[in-house]
Structure 1
Amino acid sequence: MIPKGIEDKYEVIRILQETAATAVLLVNYKSIGALRILKAIHKASPNAHSILSEAHLLQGIKSSRIPTIFSVEDTNDMYYLVEEFIEGISLREYLLQTKLSKEELYRLAIEVCHIFEALHSAEPEPVLYRDLKPEHLILQGDKLRLIDFGIAIKKSQSATAMPLGTKNWAAPEQLKGQKLDERCDIYSVGKIIEFLQINSYAKDDFRLKKLVDKATAANPSDRHNSISDLKSQLLKLQGVRANENTESGILDRKIAVIGADCGVGTTHIAINLCRYLNSKHIETYYKDFEKNTVHHLWEHFKDSHVRSGVLYHKNFRGILNYGDAIESYTPPKGLYVLDCGTNDKYISDAQIIFYIVSASPWKTINYPYWIKDKTVYVISNFSNKLFSLKLAKDLHKKVFMYPSNKWSLSLSKDENRFFSMVLKNEKDFTV
């Protein structure tokens, strides 16, 4: 399967892959002494024009992270394509000998997203790669590059594309031969992120696990809408802030407050946390997701006022929920305290989580797997010391007891001491 007549230009170093109709060769381009990849296919093959298609496909992608096409040529009986030889180590080989730090994990995951942003924004139409796996990602120093576009297609070809791909890496709809869009690649990128996480010191990071679960959802409609959306979520988890130069250094950070059950005091603690942080001159806003708490407070707070969708009352600032029918205001800059009720779907991009529990001897509570994460603070409310000590022993982590106080328009000394104690080890929130 070595094309006849190429000897003048190319010296065959070795055959990388060969079938009855195709060959992939490592060659030396004699005129400049550079290694290249030569892909050949017999003209009699029903897939003979795939090489031409691959060349056109790659030429529409503007990225230094994919191979450069140098030429497409033919002999009497064969077509062949010559492209850049990307020398390096595959991601799979790299992770056989390396355990990633959390920082390196995020860097590589974001690099993969950059590559697929280029593919999905290719001209004149998006390219669906369909074959992402660790063997096809090559590390060249700090740079990550993508090889082997053998089954990549233009988006318009997806309705008639053959059900090709690698099991456990390709999206379910791809292997079933269903119509595809960019979300099939999002699934594979999610699998790569999962692979990175398994081989890292962040293998128990629940936020990253939740992101992977979303990216690899069986139903495409449950995945991220775009690769840019996925990248944006990774950047949030990485800790990149929208405004790095702010004096306070905490803009666009979030503290999530979530209850183990209804009636454990989640809203009460979230509101008081907001008031505490504002009293320490940290611009903080309370936001709930499933109730109209701020509207109710507006009705009962005296001397309160509303400006640009925010309720102001002494040290409390709450985001009003106007619903989808009314145009919302641009969210103010600042730290957000998120009242999540009992729903953990809202906690994934929070830097700190307050998990509120209460002594309920008649109930059995199944604590979430992420409760042991070091960014999760367990707070025992309406409970005695014995319950809190037992819980701390069961969870193998510290449990904080919220002071017993009636609702008041100002924080008690005990509540002020409580929040100061809980946040004292968080450098961004130390006051």
Structure 2
Amino acid sequence: MTSQIWFHKYQIIKVLGHGGTADVFLSLHTKLNTLRAIKRIRKDHILHSQLLNEARILKNLCHSCIPIIFDFEEDTGYSYIIEEYIEGQSLKVLRNQLEHIPEDTIIEFTIQLCDLLQYLYSTHNPVLYLDLNPDNIIISKNQIKLIDFGASSFQNETGNRNYSLGTKGFAAPELYSGHAPDERTDVYGIGTLLYYMVTGKSYIISEQKRSIQNKLGNCSAPLQGIMKRCLQYYPMLRYSGVFVLKKKLLELHQKSVKVKDESRKSITIAIAGTQERIGTTHLGILIANYYSQKSIKALYMEKNNSNHVSSILSSYKKNKIKESIYLINNCYMLPGCRIHLPVVSETYPVKILDYGKLNQDNYEDFLNSDIQLLVCGGKEWELEETEKALKLVCDKKTVKYLFNFVDGSRFREILKYMGKLTCCRVPYEPDPFAGQNGKILNQFIDQLVE
């Protein structure tokens, strides 16, 4: 095969792929010394005329991520489309090589794909792609490229389609039902590719509920929501177009980038109380869980002599990490603060320093942190201790005053005496190791660490 010269100028190098409708070969243009892909289509194939439609569509397109048609040849048995060789590996090969594709990469690939499809829709004679599948997506230097337009159609000709040519597990239902496809058909295709990138499997409609529920454990809830909307059986229930889908993906991507940026920052969050047993340990663990949900490593450091962490270690299942740091229910904890701060700065971008009761010995360190949270008692018999602590930090306007174990009416009374100081009431959460913080609690912590 490698010694064959086709049409006096194309030296065949190897077979790129075999299919039911066509074979694809890698060749070298002997005069130009450039690589070409040659698609060979049997003339007796029932869809021969439709497959030649690829050449008709591609000759009017000009995009760096879409192959260029260079030539067309025929012999007695076959038609040949000679086009630009797109170097890289298919999405199928990439997914098979990886245990998983990072979600950020999945989102970036899908946004690129949306851009490509928007280009197809924006041409003088808009084109629907209609066969999005992992074999037709090439990844070249982290960029998405589209090949094989054999199933594509000009938008104004879709009503004349009497064939499906969709790939099972990726084709929208309407391609098999005789209904004319539209942009939402490609939206469905994007949904199947999202599903494939997350799970490594094609999407079978009959297994929809079981597939979505059991196989998307490593996929964020927002991306699952986007995927489910794309995969709706009825087109009217999907996103109205690729532009709308891209907007949703960009919003999700921007949130992801923001979380990444936050994770690169090294911040210290100091917590102290106006008295002992006011809830500083409890709050510190809740904040550590908050960051854990954002995939940001936060280390709770016990900067006091309460020995609460030692008690926690004896009560919960734990994993020792290193240097006396323990992992308990996704919360990294350091008892008694046995490591100097610089040692853990790179590993843990967020340090939560629990100073216990605020006093003359620790208040300066407390105030030197990036974020200062003072947990206060609001009951009548606690006010004296609260006032003593306030005198130590009253000149520092960045301190946030958190009132624990008080109801709404009592908190409103307290606010009358706090003037313009930043005050919050701590939401009730009985178990700081419960796992996922609730919406109200996360909104509360958002305000504390912003």
The answer to whether the 8 A contact 2:53-2:150 is kept is no
The match for 2:112 is: 111
The 2-side partners of 1:226 and 1:407 are apart by 52
Whether the 8 Å CA contact 1:117–1:228 is kept in 2: the answer is yes
Q: Which amino acid aligns with 2:425?
A: F
Cα deviations across residues 188-212 of structure 1 (Å, max 9, x unaligned)? Answer: 1011122223369982311110111
Cα deviation digits, residues 330-359 of structure 1 (max 9, x gap): xxxxxxxxxxxxxxxxxxxxxxxxxxxxxx
The answer to whether residue 249 in structure 2 is matched with residue 234 in structure 1 is yes
TM-score by length of 1: 0.55
* Pair 1:205 & 2:201 matched: no
> Partners in 1 of 2:184 and 2:71 — Cα distance?
31
Q: Which moved more, 1:4-13 or 1:409-418?
A: 409-418
Task: Note the residue ranges of structure 1 that are not aligned, 5 or more in a row.
Answer: 251-370, 377-392
- Cα separation, partners in 2 of 1:35 and 1:62, compared to 1, 3 Å: closer
Q: Is the 8 A contact 1:138 1:146 kept in 2?
A: yes
2:219 is the counterpart of 1:219: no
1:93 matched to 2:97:
no
Matching residue of 1:79: 79
Q: Which residue of 2 aligns with 1:66?
A: 66
2:449 aligns to what?
Answer: 430
Q: CA deviation at 1:96?
A: 2.1
* Contact 2:109/2:144, CA 8 A, preserved across alignment: yes
Between structure 1 and structure 2, the one with the greater Rg is: 2
**Superposed displacement of residue 93, structure 1:** 1.4
Superposition map of 1:307-326 within 5 A: none
> Deviation of residue 154 (structure 1)?
1.3
> What root-mean-square deviation, in Å, do the aligned CA atoms of Structure 1 and Structure 2 show?
4.3
The 5 Å alignment of 1:26-425 reads 26-41=26-41, 47-50=47-50, 52-75=52-75, 78-98=78-98, 99-125=100-126, 127-161=127-161, 162-198=163-199, 203-239=218-254, 374=293, 404-406=407-409, 412=415, 416-418=423-425
Give the total of aligned pairs.
283
Q: AA paired with 1:86?
A: I
Q: What is the TM-score of this pair, normalised by structure 2?
A: 0.53
Q: CA deviation at 1:59?
A: 2.8
Identify the residue that residue 328 of structure 1 maps to in structure 2.
none
One-letter identity of the residue aligned with 1:131: D
Cα deviation for residue 375 of structure 1 reads 6.0
Q: How far, CA to CA, are the matches of 2:174 and 2:292 in structure 1? A: 34
8 Å CA contact 1:132, 1:169 repeated in 2: yes
Offset at residue 7 of structure 1 (A): 4.1
In the TM superposition, what is the alpha-carbon distance from 1:240 to its structure 2 partner?
6.2
Percent identity of equivalent pairs? 25
- For residues 412 and 424 of structure 2, the distance between their equivalents in structure 1, rounded to whole angstroms, comes to 17
Counterpart of 1:217, as a letter, is: Q
**Which amino acid letter does the alignment assign opposite residue 103 of structure 2?**
K
Deviation at 1:410, TM superposition (A): 9.9
Instruction: Provide Cα deviations, 1:19-65, integer angstroms capped at 9, x if missing partner.
Output: 89854322211112222111234556564444542122113334211
Contact 2:129 2:153 in 1 (8 A): yes
SS at match of 2:407: coil
CA distance in 2, matches of 1:410, 1:191: 56
**Contact conserved, 1:5 with 1:75, CA < 8 A, in 2?**
no
Query: Aligned partners of 2:19 and 2:136: how far apart in 1?
Result: 20
Determine the C-alpha separation between the residues in 1 that align with 2:246 and 2:74: 40
Unaligned runs of 5+ in 2: 201-214, 263-289, 296-315, 317-328, 332-402, 428-440
Helix, strand or coil for the counterpart of 2:83? strand
Give the match's secondary structure for 1:167: coil
Alpha carbons of 1:23 and 1:422: their partners in 2 closer, same or farther (altered >3 Å)?
closer
Alignment deviations for residues 85-143 of structure 1 (CA, whole Å, 9 cap, x no partner): 11211112112222322322221121121121122223212x12221111211111111
Answer 1 or 2: which has greater helix percent: 2
